Amino acid sequence: MMGKRVGMNGDRAVAFAAKQAKVDVISAYPITPQTIIVETLAEYVNNGELDAAFIPVESEHSALSAAIGASLAGARVFTATSSQGLALMWEILWIAAGLRAPIVMAMGNRALSPNINIHCSHDDAYAARDTGWLQLFAENVQEAYDLTLLAFKIAEDHRVLLPTIVNLDGFILTHAAEGLYVLDDKDVDSFLPPRKPVNPIDPDNPKTYGPLDFTDWYMEHRKIWYDTYPNVPQVIKEAFAEYEKLTGRRYVQIKTFNAEDADKAIVILGSSAGTARYAARKLKEKGQNMAVISLTQYRPFPRKELRTILEKFDVVAVLDRSLSFGSPGNQLFMDVATSLYNAKKKPLLVNVVYGLGGRDFTPRHVEQVYQLMEEVQKRGEAPEEPVWVGLREA
């Protein structure tokens, strides 16, 4: 069952999925490039197409605070943000995860200032990576729609109960219209029945949420929270499998392309994976083999599965659409390097910076990365500093 074929941009596709999920509460503050998401949901509520409380708050900090309250009361809750908006709600990200509030938040990935830039970098996704939120990355508009529905399924599972971010690249996906298949409402209802809350707020049975926690118990409570995450990958796999039966669309934690006979690989997130696969096909026509590894599941990071995939390669280039200033490597690179640390066979790792602030990432840039990996393979040594592709002087 593929569903009905429609044309939408990524923002509207996410909003349509949230409507079909029958969210109870939308906590909204606009920021480019996600504004269309909450505007569209406001239209749905105003037109009577969605029976939900729409809360227009005065800041992103308040948006997430209101979302937590609604989620703890038992509602199915949705919000969206980008960039500086994520930065303003950063304090509350930790609280949402620690209170086990299964909020779903779409993030139109955008560069953080300075200088002001409204286009795509993964700065905001990486800024949230250690806060306890689960993170999924969409490569196209179809995935943005599908992963929004899947996010509710995963987040609200009683083995998980953790807030979840669906990342979609700013403007590249948020504002780009594509053809996609949407499900009938009745099929979404069967896949995503109403939420069954655990220990919801009850005025007749008062509870304390997020109390003061001193030195005697803080570590133990952190450990209980930490121990939730090993359960998550199995829930994600089950949700992906159920969704495939419903739609015919297959999702996996890690996508591999041309990995069978290649000795070099690119690891990448988001919409650029499609460009990398296209370039890899063209390279293969010339007898130059390169694998493309892209992650749908970014948090929790699938380190064991990725290690199994990557340890066969001679050289791996990890592409980051962000910077970690003063660090020996950027964010995705550090995740990959840590995952490979205990591998029996380690590939040479190259960190590549690309596409900052929405800079185009083209097949020519992928070819440059391939040539860089060939040089590293010949030398038997990887550069210690990140290599930038797509700079003006290049």
Over residues 380-392, the mean pLDDT reads 96
Q: What is the pLDDT of residues 164-195, one digit of tens each?
A: 999 999 999 999 999 999 999 999 999 999 99
By three-state DSSP, how is residue 361 classified?
A: coil
Beta strands, E only, the chain:
4-9, 25-28, 53-56, 77-81, 104-109, 134-137, 164-169, 177-182, 254-257, 264-268, 291-295, 297-299, 315-320, 348-353, 387-388
Q: For residue 337, tell me if it sits in a domain.
A: yes
Same domain, 312 and 231: no
Burial 95-104 (b: 16+ CB within 10 A, else e): bbbbbbbbbb
Q: Is residue 48 a part of any domain in this protein? A: yes
Query: Is residue 12 domain-shared with residue 146, that is, in the same domain?
Result: yes
pLDDT above 60 (res 318): yes
Those residues whose C-beta lies under 8 Å from the C-beta of residue 371, and which sit 6 or more positions away, are none
Does residue 139 sit in the same domain as residue 217? yes
Query: Is residue 371 assigned to a domain?
Result: yes
Q: Do residues 215 and 269 both lie within one domain?
A: no
Same domain flag for 208 and 168: yes
Phi and psi based region of residue 380 (left: phi greater than 0; alpha: psi -120 to 50; beta: remaining)? left
pLDDT digits (tens, 9 = 90+) for 267-277: 999 999 999 99
> What angle, rounded to 10 degrees, do the helices at 35-46 and 10-20 form?
40
> Residue 27 — left, alpha, or beta (φ > 0 → left; ψ -120 to 50 → alpha)?
beta
CA distance 142 to 149: 11
Question: Is residue 394 within 8 Å of residue 358, measured between CB atoms?
Answer: no
Could you tell me whether strands 291-295 and 297-299 are parallel, antiparallel, or unpaired per DSSP bridges?
unpaired
Cα–Cα distance for residue pair 101/262, rounded to 1 Å: 43
Q: List, for residues 80-128, the tens digit of each pLDDT value.
A: 999 999 999 999 999 999 999 999 999 999 999 999 999 999 999 999 9
CA 287 to chain centre: 33
List, in order, residues 6 or more apart from 80 with CB less than 8 Å away.
14, 28, 34, 37, 38, 105, 106, 107, 108
Does any domain span residue 90? yes
How many CA atoms are closer than 13 Å to the CA of 376, on its beta-carbon side? 25
Instruction: Domain count for the chain, please give it.
Output: 2
Residue 335 is encoded by which pair of tokens? 């995740």
Q: Are residues 90 and 228 in the same domain?
A: yes
Q: Residue 258 belongs to what domain range?
A: 254-388
Domain membership of residue 393 (yes or no) is: no
Give the closest residue to 173 by CA, choosing from 374, 354, 365, 37: 37
pLDDT band for 51, please (50, 70, 90 cuts). very high
- Which pLDDT score, from 0 to 100, does residue 80 have? 98
* 149-162: pLDDT as tens digits: 999 999 999 999 99
Beta strands at 164-169 and 134-137: parallel, antiparallel or unpaired:
parallel
Tokens for 114, please give them: 């300075």
DSSP state of 138: -
Sequence-ordered list of residues with C-beta below 8 angstroms from that of 187, at least 6 positions apart, any chain: 1, 3, 246
Distance of alpha carbon 73 from alpha carbon 319, whole angstroms: 41
For residue 256, give the 3-state DSSP assignment. strand
At 28, which amino acid appears? Answer: A
Query: Is the confidence at residue 240, as pLDDT, over 70?
Result: yes
Q: Is 380 exposed, middle or buried (0-12, 13-18, 19+ CB in 10 A)?
A: exposed
Average pLDDT over residues 51-65: 98
CATH number, domain with residue 210: 3.40.50.970
Average pLDDT rounded to a whole number, residues 314-319? 98
Query: DSSP for 82-112?
Result: -HHHHHHTHHHHHHHHHTT---EEEEEE-PP
Last residue of some domain: 208, 231, 247?
A: 247
Q: Tell whether 302 is covered by a domain.
A: yes
pLDDT at 2: 74
Query: Residue type for 171, please?
Result: F
In the predicted model, is pLDDT for residue 79 greater than 60?
A: yes
Please report whether residue 336 resides in a domain.
Answer: yes
Are 217 and 271 contained in the same domain? no
| Whole-number average pLDDT of the chain | 97
382: domain CATH number is: 3.40.50.920
Q: Within this chain, do residues 239 and 154 fall inside the same structural domain, yes or no?
A: yes
64 confidence band (pLDDT: 50, 70, 90): very high
Q: How many CB atoms lie within 10 A of CB 196?
A: 9
pLDDT at 394 over 60: no
For residue 238, what pLDDT is reported?
98
Same domain, 291 and 356: yes
Q: Are 57 and 92 in contact (CB under 8 A)?
A: no
pLDDT digits (tens, 9 = 90+) for 16-35: 999 999 999 999 999 999 99
One domain, residues 145 and 235: yes
Asked if 300 and 239 sit in the same domain, the reply is: no
| String of DSSP letters for 152-208 | HHHHTSTTT---EEEEEETTTTSS-EEEEEE--HHHHHHHSPPP--SS---TTS---
Domain end residue (candidates: 190, 220, 247) = 247
Whether 97 and 152 share a structural domain: yes
Q: How confident is the model at residue 207 (pLDDT cuts 50, 70, 90)?
A: confident
Res. 1: pLDDT tops 70: no
Q: What is the pLDDT of residues 333-368, one digit of tens each?
A: 999 999 999 999 999 999 999 999 999 999 999 999
Residue 394 lies in a domain: no
Last residue of a domain, one of 194, 229, 247: 247
